[in-house]
Amino acid sequence: MTFEGVEASPLLSVRGLSKLFGSFAACDAIDLDIGHGEIHALLGENGAGKSTLVKMLFGVLQPTAGTISWEGRPVVIPSPGEARRLGVGMVFQHFSLFEALTVAENIALSLDPRTPLAKIAEETATVSKAYGLPLDPSAHVADLSVGERQRIEIIRALLQNPKLIILDEPTSVLTPQEAERLFETLMRLKAEGRSVLYISHRLEEVQRICDRATVLRHGKVTGDCDPRKETPASLARMMVGTEVAEVQRADAGAFGDVLVEVAKVSVAPRTPFAVSLKDISLKVRAGEVLAIAGVAGNGQSELFDALSGEYPISDDDGIRLRGKPVGRLRINGRRLLGAGFVPEERHGHAAVSALSLSDNLLLARSRSDKKAFLAGGPLSILRRDAILSASRRICSIMDVRKSGDDPAAGSLSGGNLQKFIVGRELDRQPSVLVVNQPTWGVDAGAASRIRQALVDLAKAGSAVIVISQDLDEIFEIATTIAVISDGKLSDPYPAGELTLEQIGLLMGGIHERHSGVETAHAH
Amino acid sequence: MRIELQKRANTSTLFSILSPLLALALTLVAGAIMFGLLGKSPLGALYIYFVEPLLDVWSLHELAIKAAPLILIAVGLSICFRSNNWNIGAEGQFTIGAITGSILPVLNPEWHSPLILPLMLVMGMIGGALYAGIPALLKTRFNTNEILTSLMLVYIAQLFLDWLVRGPWRDPQGYNFPQTKSFQPEAVLPEILDSGRAHLGIIFALIAAVALWFMMRFMLKGFQVSVLGQSERAGRFAGFSARRMVWFSMLLSGALAGLAGISEVSGSIGHVQPVISPGYGFTAIIVAFLGRLNPLGIIASGFVLALTYLGGEAAQLSLSISDKVSRVFQGLILFFVLSCDTLIHYRIRLIFNPSTAQEGKR
């Protein structure tokens, strides 16, 4: 171990940090230096070891080997509490907020329990103003947009006056305008001499705001560079190891019959925190990829539930699949008409983590592939061999990387599981496919593969609906784009006619209350 | 040094088999300590408790009699628990099954037909199922918590039985004892062998266990149970109805508990009386978990828990200690099973890290 002078030493210095899970090295001898006042990017595919590394820095996991030095001094970080005392703050990708509580109450939960709530509310207001993160301390979290919720997490971290703030995929849930604000905040933190560890997939924004980048692949550092001197392609190469295939888009123009038609569907919210769908109409023809853009929590999952039939709607004519009214039909009835569905949440919705891949294949297709997968008539005996061979076929077509022949779904990385879940539907050659957030949290290689598969399906004459927050993805695959905001769907636009800014405006523009708050606090 | 629980990447197959055995071993150790504190020779007491009952043919029959209701109820509960429906009221369904199954022999003591026994068994199952249907209805209609409703219904069933045998069903020639007339011979569940009292109940239990094992392993229904048990949302995506699963699992376990109830009354007791169960419905919960919620495992764990009842009786006779000791053993087993199950998902690591130690002192 080498000790450098305190002045010259970086804020955080990691040497040879490894984490073994059994014999699997999630992180393998990682070196990382973060200087004072530096915005440092941590790039890598899903499963590259980014989360494991960050969890070790934040004291959630203990390293198997290696050292962490903080301001030149070797430290052991046994718990997140200790990490906070050192001056490390963390903003997780998935927020841990109580929807029924107010902003101030949520912040109070992570602070010293003796601090009075009024004081917290006051500090919250001060900090949020100082950093350009407008936030009303007395607002209920349930009423806030995802961007505002993220601000709570950031302010929560800032109130502990950290020297290093770790942000995990912060822009994945934001509109372009909201992301812009976040970048301004990060610049302000940097100007104060605080450091930021910025985890992201998005190469463009890393190049824009980060001073240095460390790239991980398979738990090892594959690149340590100044992102401004690299091209997106060279950064992607460090992340994936090979060039990422570019998606070949379907030609707009020659579309076939209308396969999906939704006419003036309104759905009341099922739970207090759900969004109601208001007067939704859409048409998707054979060969068309309709992308529905929008910030999370604007009715996407409710729309998916209505389209999939997981929660059928009362108006049977409201939804038509291949001309047949299906509004009151349940999901398997719609599958029998040739529709396939891919929900947003992989674990516990699209798949059951503890069950094997073949069981998860059966999960979506027990009814539609009854003849192939079940025997024994009313006894419904499972034909394990048939299910297993279909599952193997899907894995090889979609290039699903897994350990063992038929592992539990939970043991796959996000990208590989998603490839399986999408492949499970494609294997049936559905005439209609509805996908919610197809590449959410998925690595670049898998995302490109999934997008290409969706485009190819449409080319082969199916109608595809993609609900997505990822605008790059939408521009990559959509032939038609509509935007959902506050449960209302905009008119569809041909993909060529919309710019990023216009979509951004549609995403936020209809959302009058939020945009009002933001302009009021703008400086 | 410190002890750390580290999550395993995959659940350990080794420990899912070893955990119940480890739990039993720890139970024996704790039992030995308890006997020592009571002033008995630990090894001698354990011998009387756990080994002696296995040495006589007569007591092996008794073991089968006690294991039968435990296994029958527990396999039904395993389906409930696997599908995330927490039926805690098997004791009540057992009691109601015993009552509805006894309607024919109690009201028609002169009916001597071979039909009577099958009818009694079917009515017992229907009674148990209907009684389990109450929490199912409350859960599906009003979203009530089935743990509370099914548990509360136990006390209603027990008091109802008490009222019946002290009131309308009391044997007029019974010297005012609170019990019914003894069942006619056609209404008594036949014994299997001449060598002891074990009756057909244990056969029912084994058939039920094997049938449900087959269902869980090879049938779509079993797949639905495990999917809905692990994620209702994924089950909905698969097109399986959680609501129907509540009904299926509750009615099934209620019917099996009811069958256990009428088998116990008809096979072991021969009449209805205020107390017909030493807590089989509750002990079966332990049986189900000790058997890893696997019907075949439950056969084994059913015999183990039956032994604690038998050993309790033996301990009362030979060691003159309270038969409450069997409750203690049952509690110990459940406690150790649940704690040993941690090892399936976690490994224990002892960390000897000098730098950690220094850091701690600092």
Residue among A373, A308, A360, A371 at smallest CA distance from A337? A308
- Is the distance from CB of A403 to CB of A416 less than 8 angstroms? no
User: Does residue B304 sit within a domain?
Assistant: no
**Are A379 and B238 within 8 A, CB to CB?**
no
Residue among B200, B203, B209 at smallest CA distance from B117? B200
Top pLDDT among A111 and A19 is at A19
Amino acid in position A462: S
Amino acid in position A379: L
User: Does residue B183 sit within a domain?
Assistant: yes
CA neighbours within 13 Å on the CB side: how many for A346?
Answer: 25
**Domain match, B2 and B81 both:** no
According to DSSP, residue A102 is labeled: B
**Domain match, B232 and B96 both:** yes
C-alpha dihedral, A403 to A407 to A409 to A414, nearest 10°: 0
Chain A interface includes B233 (CB < 8 A)? yes
**Are B238 and A366 within 8 A, CB to CB?**
yes
| CATH 3.40.50.300, applies to A12-240 | yes
**Domain match, B192 and B283 both:** yes
Given B241, B274, B291, the domain boundary residue is B291
Q: What angle do CA A102, A105, A111 make, to 5 degrees?
A: 150
Which residue of chain A is at minimal alpha-carbon distance from B219?
A: A381
**Domain match, B251 and B139 both:** yes
Own/partner pairs for B152-156, CB < 8 Å, 24+ apart? Answer: B152/B89, B153/B89, B153/B92, B154/B88, B154/B89, B154/B91, B154/B92, B154/B95, B154/B281, B155/B92, B156/B92
Number of independent structural domains in chain B: 2
User: Does residue B123 sit within a domain?
Assistant: yes
Top pLDDT among B352 and A68 is at A68
User: Does residue B228 sit within a domain?
Assistant: yes
- For chain A, give the number of residues: 523
Q: What integer pLDDT is reported at residue A522 of this predicted model?
A: 37
For residue B323, what are the CA distances in angstroms to B305, B314, B317, B326?
Answer: 14, 9, 9, 6
From chain B, the residues in CB contact with A379 under 8 A are 219
The H or E element spanning position A505 is helix A500-509
Between strands B346-351 and B2-7, the pairing is antiparallel
| CATH 3.40.50.300, applies to A258-351+429-521 | yes
Chain B interface includes A310 (CB < 8 A)? yes
Average pLDDT along chain B: 90
For residue A373, what are the CA distances in angstroms to A253, A268, A390?
Answer: 39, 37, 9
Residue bearing tokens 């991980």: A216
Q: What are phi and psi of A182, to 5 degrees?
A: -60, -40
**Domain match, B196 and B342 both:** no
Check whether B188 has a pLDDT greater than 70.
yes
Burial state string for A188-204 with b = 16 or more CB within 10 A and e = fewer than 16: ebbeeebbbbbbbbbbe
What average pLDDT does the segment A278-282 reach?
93
Domain range summary for chain A, segments of one domain joined by +: 12-240, 258-351+429-521
**Domain match, B279 and B163 both:** yes
**Domain match, B107 and B153 both:** yes
Q: How far apart (Å, rounded) are the C-alpha atoms in residues A235 and A334?
A: 43
pLDDT tens-digit series, residues B308-360: 888 888 888 888 888 788 888 888 988 998 888 888 888 888 877 654 444 44
**Domain match, B141 and B213 both:** yes
Q: What integer pLDDT is reported at residue A159 of this predicted model?
A: 85
For residue B343, what are the CA distances in angstroms to A137, A288, B6, B14, B348?
Answer: 44, 52, 10, 10, 8
pLDDT tens-digit series, residues B276-311: 999 999 999 999 998 989 999 999 999 999 998 888
Q: B236 to chain A nearest CA, in Å?
A: 6
The H or E element spanning position A161 is none
Q: What integer pLDDT is reported at residue A247 of this predicted model?
A: 66
What average pLDDT does the segment A226-243 reach?
75
Q: How far apart (Å, rounded) are the C-alpha atoms in residues A411 and B165?
A: 57
Chain B interface includes A308 (CB < 8 A)? yes
**Are A364 and B237 within 8 A, CB to CB?**
yes
Q: How far apart (Å, rounded) are the C-alpha atoms in residues B306 and B308?
A: 5
pLDDT tens-digit series, residues A420-457: 999 999 999 999 999 999 987 777 788 888 999 999 99
Q: Which domain holds residue B15?
A: 1-31+328-362
Q: What integer pLDDT is reported at residue A248 of this predicted model?
A: 63
- Is the distance from CB of B5 to CB of B342 less than 8 angstroms? yes
Q: What integer pLDDT is reported at residue A46 of this predicted model?
A: 64
Q: What integer pLDDT is reported at residue A131 of this predicted model?
A: 80
pLDDT tens-digit series, residues A142-168: 777 777 888 888 888 888 888 999 988
- For chains A and B, CB pairs below 8 A equal 75
User: Does residue B110 sit within a domain?
Assistant: yes
What average pLDDT does the segment A291-318 reach?
90
**Domain match, B194 and B255 both:** yes
From chain B, the residues in CB contact with A335 under 8 A are 239
**Domain match, B128 and B234 both:** yes
Chain A interface includes B356 (CB < 8 A)? yes
What average pLDDT does the segment B160-172 reach?
93
From chain A, the residues in CB contact with B236 under 8 A are 310, 331
Exposed, middle or buried: residue B360 (CB in 10 Å: 0-12, 13-18, 19+)? exposed
Check whether B165 has a pLDDT greater than 70.
yes
Residue bearing tokens 């888009």: A249
Q: What integer pLDDT is reported at residue B121 of this predicted model?
A: 97
**Domain match, B20 and B84 both:** no
Residue among A343, A342, A316, A344 at smallest CA distance from A330? A316
Q: Show the beta-strand stretches assigned E in A409-458.
A: 432-436
Q: A300 to chain B nearest CA, in Å?
A: 16
| Sign of the alpha-carbon torsion through A89, A94, A97, A102 | positive
Which residue of chain A is at minimal alpha-carbon distance from B224?
A: A363
Q: What angle do CA A476, A168, A488 make, to 5 degrees?
A: 50
Q: What integer pLDDT is reported at residue A225 of this predicted model?
A: 87
Given B264, B291, B318, the domain boundary residue is B291
Q: How far apart (Å, rounded) are the C-alpha atoms in residues A79 and B76?
A: 44
Given B269, B291, B313, the domain boundary residue is B291
Quick one: what percent of chain A has pLDDT higher than 90? 36
**Are A380 and B239 within 8 A, CB to CB?**
no
Q: What integer pLDDT is reported at residue B361 of this predicted model?
A: 40
